[in-house]
């Protein structure tokens, strides 16, 4: 799997419970733009409407070489494809337990563009601070270890 775009904020903003893979319905100009890397997932979220999944807020910027008869809309709502049983299970969890669905990344699988979505719960402010502290500590620990390794005297 090669990643096209990743939503890094999702891991910071939410506790991710379960991961799912869904197909995504794209128009021709969108596929070309995706191949060129013109995708942004940061503000995206998944909405369930009438038993179907829709990706909202995923921005795909059109290429300048897009056809003249097509009027591309960068923030178009895109339909996600999953099996009915999986969608029903997601509907139950989202409506009853207060979960939300967030897109994590877009990737290629077998020549097709797929979206990885996750069932997630929002983090409280203190959880975000803890995540930041852990990340800073890991970074600082790495620096200390590199400095410690490089400052050791060479043995003769």
**pLDDT score for 67:** 64
**pLDDT score for 66:** 65
- For residue 144 the two structure tokens come to 């200390």
User: Using CA atoms, how far apart are residues 10 and 120, in angstroms rounded to an integer?
Assistant: 9
**pLDDT score for 21:** 92
Cβ neighbours for 94, distance < 8 A, ≥ 6 positions apart = 48, 100, 101, 119
Report all structural domains of the chain as residue ranges with CATH numbers, in order of start: 2-122 (2.40.280.10)
Q: For the chain, which residues score pLDDT lower than 50?
A: none
**pLDDT score for 76:** 82
User: Beta strand 78-81 with 14-24: parallel, antiparallel or unpaired?
Assistant: antiparallel
């Amino acid at each position: 799997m090669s990643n096209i775009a990743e939503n890094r904020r999702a891991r910071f903003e939410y506790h991710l419970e379960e991961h799912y893979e869904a197909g995504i319905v794209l128009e021709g100009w969108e596929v070309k733009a995706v191949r060129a890397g013109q995708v942004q997932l940061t503000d995206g979220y998944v909405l369930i409407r009438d038993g179907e999944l829709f990706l909202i807020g995923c921005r795909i910027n059109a290429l300048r070489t897009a056809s003249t008869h097509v009027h591309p809309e960068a923030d178009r709502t895109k339909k996600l494809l999953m099996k009915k049983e999986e969608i029903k299970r997601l509907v139950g969890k989202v409506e009853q337990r207060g979960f939300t669905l967030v897109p994590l990344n877009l990737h290629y699988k077998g020549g097709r563009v797929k979206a990885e979505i996750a069932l997630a719960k929002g983090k409280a402010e203190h959880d975000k601070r803890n995540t930041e502290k852990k990340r800073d500590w890991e970074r600082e620990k790495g620096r200390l270890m590199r400095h410690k390794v490089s400052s050791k005297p060479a043995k003769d």
